[in-house]
Amino acid sequence: MSGVNRIDSAFAGLKGEGRIGLFPYLTAGYPDRASCTRLLRVMADAGADAFELGIPFSDPLADGVTMQITSAKSLAQGTTLADAFDIVAEFRQTHDTPIVMMSYVNPLLAYGFERLCADAARIGVDGFIVPDMPLEEAEELAETAKKHGLHYVYFLAPTSDAGRIEAVGAQSSGFIYCVALVGTTGARTELSDELPAFLARARAATSTPLVVGFGISTPAHVARLVGMADGAIVSSAIANLI
């Protein structure tokens, strides 16, 4: 890396082009390791602006049925965090598209935060998203990530109050993951009517880019976010196609 995180470069480019970013989500090792690497390359060539790469986990509490299935099938093939790093390393041989790893905290604790962030930076990961580690418990990983030039991505939800939004805004780097609905991941036909007001509250509290996930399923959903958010994560809708 040149010293500038790929995520920051991606958002600077998106701002210059005046458009919203598309961030596909793939589960590492699903449907199998070789196909996962190939899908990353195909999507990058097709214009993906960044990726969220999920580490399969046995108890994915924030995920709906579709992503639970992808995680279970990947785990059944023996996929580990180390395998996910190998997938990123293979991808980095040909592509520079940003990759943020999403993992529940247990695999990261088992790997060790210092080793995790050192390996991630060396291999070409750009940050981490940890849905079951709230702001109050994230300081150690966030600081270790920062030391290695990585971003730790915090969450906000429609239920976040003003104090929570302000605290996350002050600590955030890279981008803030804005949950589009109350519930688990999964393709939806409509976006929540509460989403515009929620994103407006988040935008008023921080200049960090806002990326929306959970339920983003169609081009129309992404189009609705233009002017409200800086990026959109699409997960279950892609997994259903795979």
Q: Which of 49, 63, 90, 230 is catalytic?
A: 63
Active site includes 63? yes
Q: How far apart are CA 153 and CA 6, in angstroms?
A: 14
Q: Is 17 tagged catalytic? A: no
Confirm if 209 and 11 have CB atoms less than 8 A apart: yes
Helical spans, DSSP H, in the chain: 6-17, 33-45, 65-76, 81-92, 105-111, 113-123, 139-147, 162-171, 195-205, 219-225, 236-241
Residue of 8, 17, 49, 52 marked active site: 52
Taking the CA atoms of the chain, what radius of gyration do you get in angstroms? 16
Within its chain, how far is the Cα of 209 from the centroid? 13
Active site residues: 52, 63
